[in-house]
Chains A and B, each alone.
Chain A
Amino acid sequence: MSLRRSALRSAVQVEIPVLLILVFALAPFAWMLLTSVKPTADLSLFPVRYMPSRITFEHYQLLIERTSFSINLLNSLVIACGAVLLGLATSVPAAYAFSRFRFPGRRQILTSFLVINMFPIVLLIIPLFVLMRKLGLIDTFLGVIIGHSTFSIPFSIWMLVSYFNAIPRELDEAATIDGASRLQTIRLVIIPLIMPGLVTTAIYVFITSWNEYLFAMMLSGQTVRPVTVALQLFIGEFTVQWGLLTAGGALIALPVSILFLLVQRRLVAGLTAGAVKA
């Protein structure tokens, strides 16, 4: 779509709708942020008190000083990065094979990657726990990361296959004719082309792993406990620590948003367009 629009048209057709969507996306989050800086006495009032009677950062302070939240954040980061690495390292070659080769069993294997994604995890978790215990992987980063690969690998393979398929095969052939080996073709031609897809998939795996609770709860112990599990500790049987919970939520959303702010530049038109033409 043309970049040539007047400022007014852009405002009416694009910026205002974007603003409306952002309001929908952010209103509950803003409510959460607001809650996180309210003194506890302001919560659960009727009628609702919108503006804090005073702004306080005590919940954040408690969160950092009195609980293990900062370590949990770090653990989450390790696990999510590990899940991205393991997920991409295994699924990029696999997706490439599914996209570029025709071999017996191809469709069946590709479909079965989806099928294994269909079992409700709640039922797989106990056998998986037993298995992880046998492998000695309970309460290790590797254990949680491998657990997360149950959803990250199938997803990544399927998404990447469609991104690979979107790239004309003539490009591979052209590179091969130019004398490049298969691995060179992948590294120099294909990977740069599917960068937006790769980034998107990585984001997906990162976020899903970052937010995952059930695997993390079962497979982690005190040593590698991520934030989602730590957060659950704020929801007791008889009390919910709203202040801690909302402050924790804000701190959890922050790194992901920053990460996305950094990588979204990769999601720009033109990267592939030019290459396809060449």
Chain B
Amino acid sequence: MKRRTFVKLAGASAFAGAVSAPAIAQGVTTVRWWYHYDNPQNTPAALIAKFEQANPGIKIQAEAIPWGGGTDYINRMFSSVVAGNQPDCAMVRLAYLSRFGQMRALEPLDGYLTKWAERSDISDDVWKLNRAPDGKQYYMPLHYVVIYLYYRQDLFQQAGLQPPKTFDEFLNCAKTLTKDGMYGYGMRGGGGCHDNWGPFVLGGGASFDKGGMLTDKALAANRFFVEFATKHKVVPPSAPTDAFRQIVDAFKAGRTAMTIHHIGSAAEMVGALGDKASAVPLPRGPGGGGWTYFGDESNAIFASSKVKEAAFKWVSFLSSGDGNVEQAKLSGQLPITTSGLKNWTGHPKRFVEASFASLPIAQTLPDNVKTPDFVGRVLPTNLQRALLGETNPDEVMKAVEQLFHG
């Protein structure tokens, strides 16, 4: 195991005692599971009770870990892997698959999946997105969100505009709607800005392959995106540090006419704006290409677990049938199963449709150990400087290329 070096160092410490294995009560298998829900009032207690009733002999010990912008959750998880007291299974994100892979922390699920009857209720596209570079499945898909475009139906109507289908239409809409203290596009330039940058830059022809950020097309696409702020000024001046909270609040307060987010904020938007808020898939680039971010949530089983069979029963329960539907309600996202999505009533229909219509262009970020650094540091800092006009927009692309390809 790869973490051995670290543990050895720890063992060299004079204070290191014996590692005590958690006692397993006779006849009852306890499965430790880590999760995070956005709303702390939601607890998985009812789901667990239902599962335990159907599976006597298995007890689920669920622990809510603070998300903390992603850092806390991941930090806690990696520390636990390093220290050797990780749970049996936990919610995980694709962005970290490579790092888990490098640590050999996860158990491949292929053996279990071939015997699992419900597998076909999750679309093949999702299985493909979740597959690791070594061709194995480590992640059990749980639910997902797709980034799309929120827009103000009423304002579009007043201005005689149609929801934009191309980048140029988008720019035109944004320009038209920027007036009287209202901004056309509530851009997210703070934490999580990749989901605003990606649609225009990756959708406009940039790619993560070697040299893919530095082609003329890629550089032009990035310039087009940065110029929303520097040249056309169709975004609020606060855009460079605005994160999801600010873009959603600004949209709710009627200060922006379009913003880019996903179904997770639909209930809030409708609560504030009613029918005035609607959504469509993101616009396409000049060549007809498009890109949107596939926000994933999966469960994984740790290689160190001694109760993998039981853990699989639990994670597969969460990814099938009513279990998945209930789980999606708790987390405020979309069910992963085709059957669950068909009768889904958790969100207003127009948002479910916009999500669904976005799937053809939905992509994940590259499966690379560097990806979290791209999301968390390299893109935000460099993009913000460009948005403020402190640096040439091309510097963003150079920094991203440099990160992934040295």
Contact = CB atoms under 8 A, between A and B. Distances in A.
Q: Tell me if chains A and B make direct contact, with any CB pair below 8 A.
A: yes
Interface of A: 40-41, 44-46, 62, 66-67, 125-127, 129-131, 133-136, 138, 217-218, 221-222, 229-230, 232-241, 244
Interface of B: 6-7, 10-11, 13, 15-17, 19-20, 36-41, 63-64, 66-70, 72, 75-76, 79-80, 82-85, 244-245, 249, 252-255, 262, 264-265, 268, 271-272, 332
A130 B72 CA distance: 16
Contacts of A125: 79
B67 A235 contact: yes
Contacts of B63: 221-222
A217 B19 contact: no
A44 B252 contact: yes
A212 B7 CA distance: 27
B85 A138 contact: yes
B268 A239 contact: yes
Contact of B82 (A41, A126, A236, A241): A126
A236 B39 contact: yes
A232 B66 contact: yes
Nearest to A43: B249
Contacts of A234: 40
Given A131-B15, A138-B85, A221-B63, A240 B40 contact: no
A241 B68 contact: no
Given A46-B253, A217-B72, A233 B13 contact: no
Contacts of B272: 41, 44
A239 B17 contact: no
A233 B7 contact: no
Contacts of B244: 237-238
29 contacts: A44-B252, A44-B272, A46-B254, A67-B41, A127-B10, A129-B80, A129-B83, A130-B7, A131-B13, A131-B16, A133-B83, A134-B19, A134-B83, A135-B16, A135-B17, A136-B20, A217-B68, A221-B63, A230-B40, A233-B64, A234-B40, A235-B67, A235-B68, A236-B40, A237-B67, A237-B264, A238-B38, A238-B262, A239-B38
A130 B19 contact: no
A233 to B, nearest CB: 4
Contact of B255 (A46, A129, A230, A235): A46
A234 B268 CA distance: 16
Contacts of B75: 218
Contacts of B7: 130
A259 to B, nearest CB: 26
A236 B83 contact: no
A235 B68 CA distance: 7
Nearest to B61: A222
A238 B253 contact: no
A233 B265 contact: no
A41 B272 CA distance: 7
B68 A134 contact: no
Contact of B36 (A134, A236, A241): A236
A40 B271 CA distance: 10
Contact of B76 (A66, A136, A217): A217
B253 A218 contact: no
A147 to B, nearest CB: 13
Contact of B10 (A134, A138, A222, A237): A134
A67 B272 CA distance: 25
Given A40-B271, A232-B67, 19 more contacts: A44-B253, A44-B272, A66-B40, A67-B41, A125-B79, A129-B80, A130-B83, A131-B10, A131-B13, A131-B16, A133-B85, A135-B16, A217-B66, A222-B63, A232-B66, A236-B40, A237-B70, A238-B264, A239-B39
A230 B64 CA distance: 9
Nearest to A217: B72
Given A46-B253, A46-B254, A239-B39, A218 B20 contact: no
A227 B68 CA distance: 14
